[in-house]
Chains A and B, each alone.
Chain A
Amino acid sequence: MAAPALELKGITAGYGRIEVLHDVSLAVPAGTVYALLGPNGAGKTTTMLVASGYVRPTAGCVHVAGSHVNRVAPENLAKAGVCRIPEGRGIFPNLTVNENLRMFTYSSPFSTGEVQEKSYARFPRLGERRNQLAGTLSGGEQQMLAMSRALVADPGILLLDEISMGLAPKIVSELYELVGQLAQDGISILLVEQFARTALAVSDYAAVMTGGRIAMVGQPADVADFVNEAYLGGAA
């Protein structure tokens, strides 16, 4: 079997004196969607930051496609194909939609024209608003714009952090449709999500985090019941 697209082994990490992750291990096999679930403050976002090189682990190692990348700078990880869409709209609110797309392809081989064509074909609503400041778009449109980065960067591994945050269910399912398509194109995806049901519907594997540890790993169906308990204390 080929090396996993992304593998975390025994990661311990945190901010200053506060340790957030305790011995976290997970592996995203190439070409699969891996959902990382769990309540607020469980350490999901920190796991993403470790995977993309923004937080250095104090113990353990990060492997991307089999290579050890603990000490690689985030910019270089990005160039190597690790693309993270951060929580809370990864866009430039004071640039227009067109200009945002131009920024997303800052160092990519694609021309701005190609990129615009590709994004607007996928999200016609963005095309209609191409000269509007991104900050004035609706929440859903902003998230679509953020997701366009994944579309144009053509990454090997995509890290999606709470793309559904604050969005209406209809838009969330639209965005997850795209996640499914990207996965079919062969992109390996690690996604952090609070809405367990939505995420589990598109994923191949799932893990539940609580208190900075992986509490459970398994097939989506097995994980679903466990999640209820983690969120709402079992009565559900």
Chain B
Amino acid sequence: MSTPSQTVDLETYVPHVDHTYDPRDPEVALYVDDVSVRFGGVQAVSSATVAALAGQVTGLIGPNGAGKTTTFNVITGLESPTNGKVWLDNNDVSSLPPYKRARRGLARTFQRLEVFGTLTARDNILAAAEFRRSWAHDHSDPRQVADELIERVGLGHVQHERVDMLPTGLARLVELGRGLATRPKVLLLDEPGSGLDTAESEALGDLLIELAQEGIAVLVVEHDVDLVMRVCNRIHVLDFGRIICVGYPKDVQADPAVQAAYLGAED
């Protein structure tokens, strides 16, 4: 495990990358391998390496515009990186289209909601369970899966409402349930806590820990610091598209480079 960096000077700062993991390590469920993304003249992500382990909640935090959502898009294949690879379950999936990555056990939620707005909450999750059944060819009963997940993410009271009528917080839970319906090995959550009140956010935290305990590798982007610090086993900090720190929550909080990234350089 890494020790947090002590370097502050961002001009000469060498990104501290967690080298202790290899994409082929069996416990590494997701490995973002030296990924860079350029849009026009803007370097959105540069040489980012992220490892998410099975059975753990991994945090990906950083200031606005640091490249977190872009990283998620690269992992799921919605955007192509200019450089670098994505590994799922020890296999290089960089050349696979999004749907094939999903079939290998990758699910995600979106920061800007991508719900099936004209369907009910339950039908959103049911549709995902049916998708899963159609490509996994297993004998799961989608209706049963949907009912269980509705219960689990706590949407029972609104399950028959159309999703575009729901408050954002609940719609995010629909996306979470939908992702879970595909029985992922790796779950990417893009700001799942925004729009939730304190109690709901606490319940979400419990759920994330529970999911990790079931063996899922959870990678979460979140701004609610309390939530992140509570549920994450390890945290990656992204700034200007670079990973500037990897470590345990306490270490990350104390890291001067992270403070500089959030608060600006000390004069």
Q: Is the CB of A236 within 8 A of B253?
A: yes
Q: Is the CB of A40 within 8 A of B264?
A: no
Chain B contacts of A172 at CB under 8 A? 264-265
Q: Is the CB of A232 within 8 A of B264?
A: no
A168 to B265, CA, bound (A): 10
The answer, yes or no, to whether B100 is at the interface (CB within 8 Å) is no
Chain B nearest CB from A164 CB (Å) reads 7
The 6 A-B residue pairs with the shortest CB-CB distance in the complex, in nearest-first order: A195-B264, A198-B264, A235-B253, A197-B264, A233-B225, A169-B265
Q: Which of A131-172 contact B (CB under 8 A)?
A: 135-139, 162, 164-166, 168-170, 172
The answer, yes or no, to whether B152 is at the interface (CB within 8 Å) is no
Chain A contacts of B64 at CB under 8 A? 40, 162, 165, 194
A40 to B11, CA, bound (A): 24
Most buried by A among B10, B194, B265: B265
The answer, yes or no, to whether B258 is at the interface (CB within 8 Å) is yes
Chain A contacts of B265 at CB under 8 A? 169, 172-173, 195, 197-198
The answer, yes or no, to whether B90 is at the interface (CB within 8 Å) is no
Report the tally of A-B residue pairs with Cβ distances under 8 A.
Answer: 82
Q: Which of B115-158 contact A (CB under 8 A)?
A: none
The answer, yes or no, to whether A199 is at the interface (CB within 8 Å) is yes
Chain B contacts of A173 at CB under 8 A? 265
Q: Is the CB of B262 within 8 A of A194?
A: yes
A39 to B259, CA, bound (A): 13
A44 to B168, CA, bound (A): 19
A155 to B11, CA, bound (A): 34
A170 to B254, CA, bound (A): 24
A41 to B222, CA, bound (A): 11
Most buried by B among A170, A172, A193, A235: A235
The answer, yes or no, to whether B199 is at the interface (CB within 8 Å) is no
Chain B residues engaging chain A, CB cutoff 8 angstroms: 10-11, 40-42, 63-66, 167-168, 194-195, 223, 225-226, 229, 240, 250, 253-254, 258-259, 262-267
Chain A contacts of B11 at CB under 8 A? 168-170
Q: Is the CB of B226 within 8 A of A233?
A: yes
Beyond contacts A18-B167, A40-B63: 6 other A-B pairs, Cβ-Cβ < 8 A, are A137-B41, A166-B65, A169-B265, A172-B265, A197-B266, A233-B253
Chain A contacts of B225 at CB under 8 A? 39, 231-233
Known contacts A165-B65, A235-B253, A40 near B223 by CB under 8 Å: yes
Q: Is the CB of B223 within 8 A of A166?
A: no
Most buried by B among A40, A136, A198, A199: A40
A165 to B10, CA, bound (A): 15
Chain B contacts of A170 at CB under 8 A? 11
Chain B nearest CB from A212 CB (Å) reads 11
Chain B contacts of A198 at CB under 8 A? 264-265
Out of B167, B258, B267, name the residue touching A232 (CB < 8 Å). B258
A93 to B63, CA, bound (A): 24
